[in-house]
Amino acid sequence: MDGPEPETTPFDAIQLQGNKLVRIYQSYLDASTPYTPHRWGVTILLLTAFFVRILLVQGWYIVAYCLGIYLLNLFLAFLQPKFDPSLNLESTEDEGLEGGQSSLPTKADEEFRPFIRRLPEFKFWHSATRAVVIGLFCTFFEIFNLPVFWPVLVVYWLILLVLTMRRQLQHMIKYRYVPFSFGKAKYGAKLLMISVIFSNVQLNFPDSGLLTLDVPPDLTLQDLRALIESETGAPAQIQTLEREGQALQDASQTLRQLGINHNDILGLRVTRPQQPQQGGQPRAPNPAARQASEQLRQQLLTNPAMQGQVRQVAPELVEAIADPARFERLFTERERRVREEQRRAQEEIDRLDNDTNNPDSQAEILRRIRQQVIAKNQEEAFEQNPESFGTVTMLYIDVLINGVPIKAFVDSGAQKTIMSPSAAEKCGVSHLIDEKWGGIARGVGTAKILGRVHHAIMQFGDYEAPASFMVMEGKDVELLLGLDMLKRHQMCIDLQENCLKVLGTKIEFLPEHQLPKMMDNILENEPKVAGPGGSTIGTETGTILPPGHSANTSSKSPAAASGSAPHAASSSSAQNPSQPQTQTQSQRPAQRSNQITEEKINTVMQHGSCDRAQAVALLEAAGGNPELALGLLFN
């Protein structure tokens, strides 16, 4: 039984007729393609008719001006190359040696590259003719006849013509190209249409897998490779063209000599450079690598801060800075590992691209896309909000307790003011500890409360105030000024003026170099969460540590006192230090093997103004994180 016939609407007939007219129109356009002089002759006649009408009726000057601007833009696009040579020059300069030097010229740098227009001739003619017809049509409607002072429009258009053409001529002279075929060799034979199929590479071409080219039979294989490079982005040096399973080797032969005919199909295979195999005869030392390693060694010798950062993830490099030969050997080995990781990552990408129907491959591709999104988000944060990646300096002030100077940590999140037993001994108030207030403080961990000092005199600058303290073991700060004292004496934390205000008295917060030494232990032992690229981020100070930095996740922290009741502060019991240290060292190879991609290397080179070897070394030290690498460089 036949199925139900599809419903028809009155618009179907109109749509069919419209499609028929479009096909007829396209067939006429295709038939007019070879007749270039005739096509342009018709366009010039239409343009002449348009200007004659403008002169006769003395109106529609704004339409003529818009048409002139549009034709000028089309003409400029017709003169410009599809691939701007200035961009290639900038990329070549970016990849040059230090000091602006470039690599030595090679034969590959001077190979033939055909001139491909940004706007092809046929599209130029079609767009110009259509614009002239539309402009001529608009001159029959009074609504487009706007009153304007036409000499101003003529002068402005001439100025635009002179400026744009002068810039275009300067561009042509600078990059040595001529957008016309006058005086150039012409191929008298009929063009061949060939198809190039590629499947094992991901190229910058919108139509996946197929490229159709119209080429003369006298075109050499080398020129064909250059043409394919301009269309797909695959470098000509690593292209392998195959015909009927046979590779085409002689680049100097023409397509006719190679037996390539009309409608032939060629296969394109891109062979990436092979990594040098380990073992066998050792390679000769690379002078550029030797210079880069020596430059990095000198920087480590003169920069203790950078030396400390590198020691956390690459202690062997820091230990070898006094021995140039050993340092160079270790540096070369690390650079080899980076190249090996890049090769493996590229092989993994190729494997995923060739097996997209596999659910595991799809999951891995999705994970990589998410990582790219996260990395882009982190890069935007680094550019727009770089201070969020820095270390926050804690708030300390100088106070006097019973005339004894002591540094107090200001913490508005702690409910009670807390003192350590050693500070109580130092200030002479240990005999005043009331053990009836003792107990156990519970929070992130537990800590023993020895008791309470009910009354002591605390001096803030010129202001004296009575104070009480909870004396607690396991604190990394001598005195923690809690919310009870802040509210009782109406203290105000003014971050804009960087001071603590107490009833009109300003007490400046201590600068970073005057902070107690125990702050290093606080930063080391604060609770941490996993960050991007294997790094860890402190949950209280926001400090970012590179991969491989051992840290105790159950830690002591001054901000742990922000609980409720007297047991607000906390201190976790010490764990066996050998176990996390062993885990950290076993995880270092995996953490160092994070992918150091070309994009990350270029990011560090661009923002840090350093060469490639330095960028690779910094990324290794930062575990593949470009933000941390730049932080190492700037520090």
H/E element, 584:
helix 578-592
What is the CB-side half-sphere exposure of residue 156 using CA atoms within 13 A?
11
H/E element, 215:
strand 210-215
Is 515 within 8 Å of 393 (Cβ atoms)?
A: yes
For 356, residues 6+ apart whose C-beta sits below 8 A from its C-beta are 362, 365
Quick one: DSSP state of residue 3? P
DSSP string, 55-107: HHHT--HHHHHHHHHHHHHHHHHHHSBSS-HHHHHHHHHHTS-GGG--PPP-G
What is the CB-side half-sphere exposure of residue 135 using CA atoms within 13 A?
29
> Catalytic one among 109, 218, 411, 434?
411
The SS3 assignment for 449 reads strand
When computed from its CA atoms, the radius of gyration of the chain, rounded to whole angstroms, is: 37
At residue 71, φ and ψ (nearest 5 deg) are -65, -35
Instruction: Mark whether 12 is an active-site residue.
Output: no
Residue 396 pairs in a beta bridge with 409
Bridging pattern class, strands 446-460 and 439-442:
antiparallel
> Using CA atoms, how far apart are residues 257 and 279, in angstroms rounded to an integer?
43
DSSP string, 171-205: HHHHHT--SS-TTS----SPPEEEEEEE-SS--S-
Active site residues: 411
